Structure 1
Amino acid sequence: MERSQRRAVKAGEASTPRVEREGHVWRIRSLEAARQVLRARDATKQAGFTAEKIPQGYLKHHPILVSDGPGHDDQRRKVARFFAPAVVERYTAQMEECADRLLDEAAAQGVCELDKLTLLYTVEITAEVVGLTESSVPKMARRLVSFFNQPEFDITKDDLGRSGRQWARAAWNGLVPIARFYLADVRPALRRRRKEPQGDVISHLLAEGYDTTGVLVECVTYGTAGMVTTREFIVMAAWHLLHDDALRERYLAAEQTERLAILGEIIRLEPVVGHLYRRATAEIAITDGGQEWTVEPGHLVDVSVRAANADPDAVGERPLELCPGRGLPQGVNATVLTFGDGAHKCPGQPLAILEADVLLTRLLPRKPRIVSEPELGWDNLIEGYWLRGFRLAL
C-alpha cells in the first residue's frame, strides 16, 4: 500500500470508484471526468456554498461566486485582473511588512499561535486588494470568522436536510454578522471609495454600477474566500515543512520559482476545499478510461477535489506523497483542481501562493519549535478543513 503523506484525511470519504452514481447524485473522483463536468459551461450551474438557496432577482448583480452564464463570465473577466500574477506582486512589500510585524509581536511573547497569526495576515492583505482598509483588521477578522458559525447541512437532500429551526439559526447567524460587517467595514470603505476611487475591487464594483447591497455581497465573498482558504493553506504548508527537515531545507535554499512549486505540490496534496458541486441543467456526457456515462438534467454532481488531485492517471506514481516537481500531463496545473476549473476557477491562486511564500520565508528562518500540533476539523459550508491550536515557540 502506498505511504500517504496527506494530513487532511476525512473519515469515511471514499477514493473509489472513479465515477459513481447514487440516485440523482454523481460522485466524480477522476480528473478526466471532473474537468469535463467543470468545463460544461452551458450545461451546469453552481450548486456549492448553498448557492441554490440564495434568492434570485433581488440583486442587480448576482454574486460572482454563485452566478453562471455570460454575466458571470463578464464579471469574472473584469475582476481577474486584480489577482493576476503581475498585479499581486505589487503587494509583496506590504506582505513582507505585515509578516515581519506579526512575527516580531509573536516572538516578543515567545509563542506564536500560527492559525491566529495567519488569520490576521490574510485578512490584512485581502482587505488591501478588496479595498476594506478603513477599519481595524483584528476586529474585521473576528467578524469574518463569525460567518462560518452555521448549522450543518447535506447538499444531497431536499432543503439541505435542515429543519425549520436550523434554517432560522442559519439566517440569524448569517445576517447578524453581515450587518456588523457592513456597518463597521464596508460602509466606511464605500464612503472613501466614492470620494477617492482606488485600484481595488470595491472601486471597480462602484465603477460597474453596483449598488451598496451588491458591493456588500461581493465583499463577503472575497473577504471570506481570501481569508479562510489561504489561512488554512499556510498553516497546512507550515505543518508539512516543520515535520520534513529535508523539504524545509530545500525550501529555504531555493529560489522563488522552486519555492512556489513546493507550495503548489503541498496544496495539490492538501486542497482546502475538498468538494465542488454542480447541478446539471442539460445532459453532460462524461468519459473515463474508455467508459461513458450521461449525467441527466437536474442531477447533482459532486466533484471530489481530494480524489481527483490524487488521481494516478493524471498525477503519476505515488499520488499521495509530496513530490515537488512531479511530471504532469500538458494542460494540468501544478495544483490540479485545488483552485477549481472552468467557469468558476478561482482567480486568487497567484495571491494565495505568494502570501504563503512571503510568510513562510520569514517564519522558518526563526527556527520555530512545535509546542502543540494543530487540531484538524471540517467545515461543510466550504467542504474544507480547518486547523486550530498550532502553537510554535519562537
Structure 2
Amino acid sequence: MTVLDLRDLPDFTANPYPYYAKLRAQGPVHQVRTEHIERLHLVVGYEEARSVLADQRFGKDWRTNERWSAPSNPINANMLELDAPHHTRLRRLVVREFTARRIEALRPRVTEITTELLDAMVPAGSADLVDALAFPLPMTVICELLGVPDIDRDTFRTLSNGVVTPTPAQREADVVGAMGAYLVQLIEGKRSSPGDDLLSALIRSRDEGGDGLSGDELVGMAFLLLVAGHETTVNLISNGVRSLLDHPHQLALLRADPGLLDGAVEEMLRYDGPVETATFRFTQEDVTVGSTVIPRGEVVLVALASGDRDPERFEDPDTFDIRRAPQGHLAFGHGAHYCLGAPLARMEARIAIGALLERCPDLARDPAGGDPDWLPGLLMRGVRRLPVRW
C-alpha cells in the first residue's frame, strides 16, 4: 500500500473534505505520513470509523505499547489516553460529579455571560468573533465550573493552544511541562482552599469502596476537562457561524424559524465539526478494518470529519442542510471515549449562536478581515480569527 504524505496535498488544512472523498472512494483505510509520524493508518469511512472507536483492540494507553515511548507527564495519562479498566474507573469517578443536573444548572450563567459579551461587542459594529465570543464564553464557563481563578485564564489559553495546536516555534515538551506545573499548582491551591466547584469536588470524590483520584490522576483530569471543555466549543461556535455565513439560504431559514436551532447545531457538528480526527490509537493485536489488516502495534487515526461526510451514511453529505436529521454523527466520538462534555458544548453553542443572530440581524463576514488563519495539525478544525461585521 502506498504511503500518502498529507503534507503534499495543497490546501489540505483549509479544505480536507475533497481529499477525504477521494480516499473514501478508494477504500476505508489508508497509510499516510504526517509531520510527526512516518506511517499511520487513517480510517476515513463512517462505519469503519464507528467500529474502530468502539473496539477495545485499539489501545489508547501508550505506556503499554513497547514500540513507542510513553510521555511521563501526568497530563498525558489523562482519561482520554487510558484503556479499560483504568479508563472505566476514572470515568466512573468523574461522572459522579459531572452530572446532567450540574450542567443544566449552568444554563442561566451561560446566558448571562453571552449577554455580557454581546453587550460589549455589538456597539462596535465589527469584531473578531473568536476573540469576542467564541473563545471567552466557553473559557469563562469551564473556568467557573472548575474553579480556576480569573487571573489565570490568559495564561491557560496560551498553554492550551500550545498543547492542542502548537506552532513550529513551540517545543511540545516545554509546553506540556509548563501545563503540568500549572495544574499541579492549581490543584494544590484547591486542596488548601476548596470551593463549591467541580475541581474541589473531584479532589473530595470517593466511590462506595473509598476509591478516589490520585495526585497524577487529578492533574490529568483537570487538563482534560479544561482543555476539552473549551477548545472544542470555541471551534464549534466559530465553525458553525462560518457555515451559516457561507450558506445564506440556510441562515435565512434559521432566522425565519429559530426552532430549527437545535438541529442546526447538530448539522454544524456534522458538516464542519470542531475535531477533525480522534486522538491516536494503536492496534493491540492484528485487526482487520474493511479489507485491510492492520498489524499489531501500528498507529491508527480515525478521521471524524471524513466519516461525517461519508455518502454511505449521510445523503448528499457535502450539502449544509440545517433541516436534515444528522443523528449518529461522529463529532463527539463514539464508544467508551464519547465526549463527556457534549451536553455542555451543545448548550453553549445553541445559546451563543441564537443570541448572536438575534442581536446582529445583518451579520456578515468582514471583507477587510483577510484570508482565514487555519489551525495547524489534524486534531482541531477551525480558524484563529473570524472577522465579522453587522
Contact 1:280 1:296 in 2 (8 A): yes
**Would you say 1:338 and 2:347 are equivalent positions?**
no
Q: Which has the higher strand share?
A: 1
Instruction: Please point out which of 204, 217, 227 is paired with 1:214.
Output: 217
CA shift at 1:125, angstroms? 0.8
Match for 1:279: what amino acid? Answer: F
Matched-pair identity in %: 18
- CA 1:280/1:61 → structure 2, altered by over 3 Å: closer, same or farther? closer
Name the residue aligned to 1:19.
28
Bigger drift between 361-370 and 265-274 goes to 361-370
> Among residues 106, 112, 126, which one is paired with 2:142 in the alignment?
126
Query: What is the distance in 1 between the residues matched to 2:159 and 2:298?
Result: 36
Matched, 1:387 2:383: yes
- Equivalent position amino acid for 1:370 in 2: R
Corresponding position: 1:91 with 2:106: yes
Query: 1:282 corresponds to which residue?
Result: 285
Q: CA deviation at 1:112?
A: 2.5
1:146/1:177 contact within 8 Å kept: no
Distance 1:390 1:173 in 2: 26
Q: CA shift at 1:311, angstroms?
A: 0.8
Task: Structure 2: give runs of 5+ residues left out of the alignment.
Answer: 1-11, 33-38, 207-211
Cα distance in structure 1, aligned partners of 2:41 and 2:252: 43
How many angstroms apart in 2 are the aligned matches of 1:327 and 1:390? 27
Q: Distance in 1 between matches of 2:216 and 2:111?
A: 33
Q: What CA distance in whole angstroms lies between the structure 2 residues aligned with 1:60 and 1:105? A: 35
Is the 2:46–2:307 Cα contact (8 Å) retained in structure 1?
A: yes
- Describe the superposition over 1:12-52 as per-residue Cα deviations: whole angstroms up to 9, x where unpaired: 844322323439733221111112211112x111279xx96
Instruction: Look up the match of 2:5.
Output: none
Q: Matched residues in 2 for 1:365 and 1:149: separation? A: 32
Distance 1:120 1:54, change over 3 A: farther
- Per the alignment, residue 111 of structure 1 pairs with 126
| Cα offset, 1:141, TM superposition | 3.4
Task: Give the structure 2 partner of residue 37 of structure 1.
Answer: 52
Per-residue displacement from partner, 1:234-288 (whole Å, max 9, x unpaired)?
01111222343332243245455x312111111111122212232010232334x
In 2, the alpha carbon distance for the partners of 1:249 and 1:60 equals 44
Equivalent-residue separation in structure 1 for 2:283 and 2:111 (angstroms): 44
Residue 177 (structure 2) aligns with: 175
CA shift digits 1:278-300 (9 cap, x unpaired)? 2010232334xxxx443321122
Q: Cα offset for 1:66?
A: 0.7
Residues 339 and 82 of structure 1, relative CA distance in 2, 3 Å threshold: farther
RMSD: 3.3
Aligned to 1:261: 263
1:10 equivalent to 2:5? Answer no
Alignment partners' CA distance in 1, 2:299 and 2:29: 12
TM-score by length of 2: 0.79
CA deviation profile, 1:70-124 (whole Å, cap 9, x unmatched): 1202222342455555542211111011011111112344432211122111111
Does the aligned pair in 1 maintain the 2:273–2:305 contact within 8 Å?
yes
CA distance in 2, matches of 1:359, 1:262: 13
TM-score normalised over the length of structure 1: 0.78
Indicate the SS of the match to 1:96: helix
Displacement of 1:227 in angstroms is 1.5
1:244 and 2:247 are equivalent in the alignment: yes
User: In 2, Cα distance between the equivalents of 1:60 and 1:13?
Assistant: 33
Unmatched tracts of structure 1, length 5 or more:
1-5, 153-165
C-alpha distance in 2 between matches for 1:325 and 1:82: 35
Q: Aligned pair in 2 of structure 1 residues 32, 364: CA closer, same or farther (>3 Å)?
A: same
Give the SS at the match of 1:388.
coil
Deviation at 1:144, TM superposition (A): 3.3
Residues 202 and 215 of structure 1 are in contact (CA less than 8 Å); yes or no, is this contact kept in structure 2? no
Tell me the SS of whatever aligns to 2:107: helix
**Partner Cα distance (2:99, 2:370) in 1:** 34
Instruction: Indicate the structure whose relative CO is greater, using CA pairs within 8 Å and at least 6 residues apart.
Output: 1
